[in-house]
Amino acid sequence: MERVHNFNAGPAALPLPVLEQARDEMLNYRGSGMSVMELSHRSAHFEGIIRQAEADLRSLLGIPDHYSVLFLQGGASLQFAMLARNFIPSEGSADYILTGAWAKAAVREAEKRGRVRVIGAADALERDNFNHVPSPAELDLDPKAGYLHFTSNETIHGVEWAADAEPEPPAGVPLICDASSNIASRPLHAAKYAMIYAGAQKNLGPAGVTLVVLRNDLLERVPSRLPVVLDYKAMAENKSLYNTPPCFSIYMVGLVLKWVKDIGGLEEVARRNATKATKVYKAIDDSGGFYRGHARPDSRSRMNVTFRLPSEDLEKKFARESDAQGLVGLKGHRSVGGLRASLYNALPMESVEVLVQFMGEFLRKNG
Amino acid sequence: MERVHNFNAGPAALPLPVLEQARDEMLNYRGSGMSVMELSHRSAHFEGIIRQAEADLRSLLGIPDHYSVLFLQGGASLQFAMLARNFIPSEGSADYILTGAWAKAAVREAEKRGRVRVIGAADALERDNFNHVPSPAELDLDPKAGYLHFTSNETIHGVEWAADAEPEPPAGVPLICDASSNIASRPLHAAKYAMIYAGAQKNLGPAGVTLVVLRNDLLERVPSRLPVVLDYKAMAENKSLYNTPPCFSIYMVGLVLKWVKDIGGLEEVARRNATKATKVYKAIDDSGGFYRGHARPDSRSRMNVTFRLPSEDLEKKFARESDAQGLVGLKGHRSVGGLRASLYNALPMESVEVLVQFMGEFLRKNG
């Protein structure tokens, strides 16, 4: 059987050339006589891998020198707890914008540590099952907040902040962004954020490594006596090598970043992603109401296209028949229902074209 | 260049058949049309991978049904913090046996959370640069301790508790073991422990996944409001799938466990490991004092053989010349100095024979 069209929400598709290179280097990484998994994390070979990945990330995302780049473990879920422990002031609170399931998880973990203000018409959004992001006018921002946290793309609900409409914090309030599901999908104005973090398993590589980009002045706020693995200062001082990092996952991230550079960088990635999303949303909008997008048009995610069909039976049929034709991962998350097509960087244009064709045929047969 | 003889202390050698299988399945895992790294962690394929790994681990280590098996992230360093947060009683303390650098790190992280009693003639051991484990008589065990923690093998110092001489806790005190560097190196009496944990990157697989085996009654002690990723109860209830696990690393652990079964299980592994260690210690003991083992003979590690030469210059020469001949990773850790040969499960007998031959030649030329 050949490779499928992979619409998984994460872990997700990886670029074929990346997988081929990982395969070819599996027994002997560049003359080392070892697999990457067998290299010491203190070796020159691995030092080369992690520093090149960092350098490529800095150049692709335009990360200034006064930011640290960390490769950590534990996924975004550990970051939810970790950033609250590092940065919610003991007197005071942090502001969280609630846009969906992932923002909610971030709030839940932060509330275990300190005071959290949920802002942005959260109740109304929840009534609409998180089908759009709040407007600036709805954000009752605290000018004294320890930080302002938001989720740049909600994987489950398929809702994304437009690049030019992301929330702006009051002067002096650090902006912290969970970019797990849209990092590196478009050019980034990194200096706008105090911290960005992302599980790798959507746009950057395999599961098991989490990227954290952090402005260095924030490290002065890190309290003492945190568990060392949850201490950004210790992780930054040790350049992600306090303990053994997830070496192979970092290597894979490095290969993915090199692939992004090879195909033309984030401008080209953004262009392709826009084209891919436009094609799928057009298939929805041109279906005469057969397909109904979950997200409001102004909040549509380029990464996760969520849509419903006229009945749950048809949705099940769509998922079953698409899967049988090699279109994998289209079943939606249970909290939204329906279908979801995740169109991350590594998903080829061809897969989108096959999906759109399938959507058209399914409509003709069942519409 | 062909593959080297890999004496790395961790990440370390992996079995060649395991790497070959990972290579061959890289683009298409068993007809899924995807790499393992591209599978959804909620898919039947990945469910098969993680449950088979768990089943093989249960059968190899003889883990009873009333234990949970968890695949976590963050390495042993996160476990140091996590187990203290889960299990040091708010009134009371935990006992830690200090046998070297790793036990010390466990103490350091636990002390951030609660009261720790360091037991077992730690000062005298430290004066001897941790060259042996304490005797039962030296252990001033607290019959009311929250738990008793020990490190079954000290990777840096090359000191290991013999299988029949591991510490025995007072009745009712849970025994917790950091087995990172000797897990699955010999048969295990799992029911003796309340909890065993191990970073995978020595005997089990690549870096990025940590194995935790935990008796289920301990879960009742887990306090509320822990970060969910640091909450054993949440991790056990979700069978390691609360959030996205390090899928590829778990797959690799599964392949390694299957390899262990294929070569004859832990009895055969233990036999090979004993033979390998005996050969290297014999080369030391037969060298007329040219090679001097760091560990006292009764505490010698089968996994990490630490030894000195007559001068630091000769040690550097040994490291340099062995490396040039394809014997990699023999330079000792700076806190012990000298040389260290790590002889984990995957290191082939042939590599040990090449090392012993090299040691003989080096002695003839420089002795």
- State whether residue B42 sits within 8 Å of chain A by CB: no
**A-chain residues near B229 (CB < 8 A):** 74-75, 77-78, 81
- State whether residue B78 sits within 8 Å of chain A by CB: yes
- Contact (CB<8Å) A76/B225: no
Residue B97, in any domain of the structure:
yes
- From residue B8, alpha-carbon distances to A64, B299, B342 in Å are 36, 21, 6
Gap between the Cα atoms of B74 and A72, Å rounded: 8
- The nearest CA of chain B is from the CA of A232 a distance in Å of 14
Q: B74 and B211, same structural domain? A: yes
The per-residue pLDDT for range A198-214, each reduced to its tens digit, is 999 999 999 999 999 99
Size of interface A-B (CB pairs under 8 A): 208
Gap between the Cα atoms of A268 and A190, Å rounded: 18
Task: Provide the CATH number for the domain around residue A218.
Answer: 3.40.640.10
Please give the single-letter amino acid code of residue A267: E
Say if residue B333 is exposed, middle or buried (CB neighbours under 10 Å; 0-12, 13-18, 19+). middle
The pLDDT value recorded for residue A120 is 87
Give the pLDDT band (50/70/90) at residue A121: confident
Global pTM value: 0.98
Nearest CA in chain A to B110: A227
- State whether residue A77 sits within 8 Å of chain B by CB: yes
Gap between the Cα atoms of A163 and A83, Å rounded: 23
Facing residue for A244 by CB, picked from B201, B225, B228:
B201
Gap between the Cα atoms of A25 and A73, Å rounded: 24
Give the pLDDT band (50/70/90) at residue B217: very high
The token duo for B365 is 């030329």
Facing residue for A75 by CB, picked from B11, B81, B244:
B244
Residues A43-53: b if buried by 16+ CB within 10 A, e if exposed: bebbeebbeeb
- From residue A84, alpha-carbon distances to A77, A92, A228, B8 in Å are 11, 12, 15, 37
Catalytic status, residue B192: no
Q: A229 and A160, same structural domain? A: yes
Choose, out of B73, B180, B323, the residue to mutate when testing the contact with A (most A CBs < 10 Å): B73
Residues B116-135: b if buried by 16+ CB within 10 A, e if exposed: beebbbbeebeeeebbbbbe
- State whether residue A54 sits within 8 Å of chain B by CB: no
Residue A281, in any domain of the structure:
yes
- State whether residue B243 sits within 8 Å of chain A by CB: yes
The share of chain A scoring above pLDDT 90, in percent, equals: 96
**A-chain residues near B14 (CB < 8 A):** 35, 37-38
Gap between the Cα atoms of A15 and A65, Å rounded: 29
Q: B174 and B41, same structural domain? A: yes
Residues 6+ apart with CB under 8 A from B42: B241
The token duo for B289 is 């004092």
The token duo for A350 is 């061809």
Single residue among A241, A262, A283 that ends a domain in this structure: A262
The pLDDT value recorded for residue B122 is 83
Give the pLDDT band (50/70/90) at residue A1: low
Facing residue for B6 by CB, picked from A1, A3, A38:
A38
Of the CA atoms within 13 Å of residue A136, those in its CB half-sphere come to 8
Please give the single-letter amino acid code of residue A38: E
- The nearest CA of chain A is from the CA of B89 a distance in Å of 18
Residue B222: how many other CB atoms lie within 10 Å:
17
Q: B281 and B256, same structural domain? A: no
Residue B188, in any domain of the structure:
yes
Helix (H, G, I), strand (E, B) or coil at B93: strand
**A-chain residues near B329 (CB < 8 A):** 40
**B-chain residues near A248 (CB < 8 A):** 206-208, 248-249
Q: What is the mean pLDDT of chain B?
A: 97
- State whether residue A110 sits within 8 Å of chain B by CB: no
Nearest CA in chain A to B20: A27
- Contact (CB<8Å) A38/B12: yes
Indicate the DSSP class of residue B133. Answer: P
The pLDDT value recorded for residue B23 is 98
Kind plus residue range of the DSSP H or E element containing B23: helix B16-24
- Contact (CB<8Å) B206/A76: no
Which residue segment(s) compose the domain that A21 sits in? 17-262
Residue A12, in any domain of the structure:
no
Facing residue for B248 by CB, picked from A76, A206, A328:
A206
Task: Give A 289-328 residues with CB within 8 A of chain B.
Answer: 326, 328
- State whether residue B335 sits within 8 Å of chain A by CB: no
Single residue among A231, A262, A293 that ends a domain in this structure: A262
- The nearest CA of chain A is from the CA of B66 a distance in Å of 26
Q: A310 and A189, same structural domain? A: no
Catalytic residue (one of B56, B95, B104, B202): B202
Catalytic status, residue B298: no
Q: What is the mean pLDDT of chain A?
A: 97
- State whether residue A9 sits within 8 Å of chain B by CB: yes
Give the pLDDT band (50/70/90) at residue B123: confident
Q: B346 and B228, same structural domain? A: no
**A-chain residues near B26 (CB < 8 A):** 19-20, 22-23, 26
Give the pLDDT band (50/70/90) at residue B1: low
Single residue among B220, B240, B262 that ends a domain in this structure: B262
- State whether residue A222 sits within 8 Å of chain B by CB: no
The torsion of the CA quartet B291, B295, B297, B298, rounded to 10 degrees, works out to -170
Q: B290 and B222, same structural domain? A: no
Q: B140 and B283, same structural domain? A: no
The per-residue pLDDT for range B273-321, each reduced to its tens digit, is 999 999 999 999 999 999 999 999 999 999 999 999 999 999 999 999 9
The pLDDT value recorded for residue B125 is 87
- State whether residue A137 sits within 8 Å of chain B by CB: no
The tally of domains found in chain B comes to: 2
- State whether residue B21 sits within 8 Å of chain A by CB: no
Gap between the Cα atoms of B279 and B282, Å rounded: 5
The pLDDT value recorded for residue B207 is 98
Task: Provide the CATH number for the domain around residue B280.
Answer: 3.90.1150.10
Residue A312, in any domain of the structure:
yes
Catalytic residue (one of B56, B95, B104, B178): B178
Q: B134 and B68, same structural domain? A: yes
- Contact (CB<8Å) A4/B228: no
Q: A359 and A250, same structural domain? A: no
- From residue B141, alpha-carbon distances to A206, B120, B138, B263, B282 in Å are 45, 9, 9, 40, 36
- State whether residue B20 sits within 8 Å of chain A by CB: yes
Nearest CA in chain B to A17: B27
Residue B75, in any domain of the structure:
yes
Residue A94, in any domain of the structure:
yes
- State whether residue A59 sits within 8 Å of chain B by CB: no
Give the pLDDT band (50/70/90) at residue A347: very high
The token duo for B50 is 């993680």
**Strand locations in chain A (E):** 5-6, 67-72, 93-97, 115-119, 148-151, 153-154, 159-160, 175-178, 195-199, 210-215, 292-293, 304-308, 327-328, 339-342
Alpha carbon A198 to its chain centroid, in Å, reads 5
Q: B291 and B237, same structural domain? A: no
Residue A353: how many other CB atoms lie within 10 Å:
13
Q: B292 and B155, same structural domain? A: no
Alpha carbon A357 to its chain centroid, in Å, reads 27
The per-residue pLDDT for range A56-111, each reduced to its tens digit, is 999 999 999 999 999 999 999 999 999 999 999 999 999 999 999 999 999 999 99
A182 close to A161: Cβ distance less than 8 angstroms: no
Q: What is the mean pLDDT of residues A187-200?
A: 96
Give the pLDDT band (50/70/90) at residue A122: confident
The share of chain B scoring above pLDDT 90, in percent, equals: 96
The per-residue pLDDT for range A279-334, each reduced to its tens digit, is 999 999 999 999 999 999 999 999 999 999 999 999 999 999 999 999 999 999 98
Does residue B72 surpass a pLDDT of 90? yes
- The nearest CA of chain A is from the CA of B325 a distance in Å of 12
Residue A272, in any domain of the structure:
yes
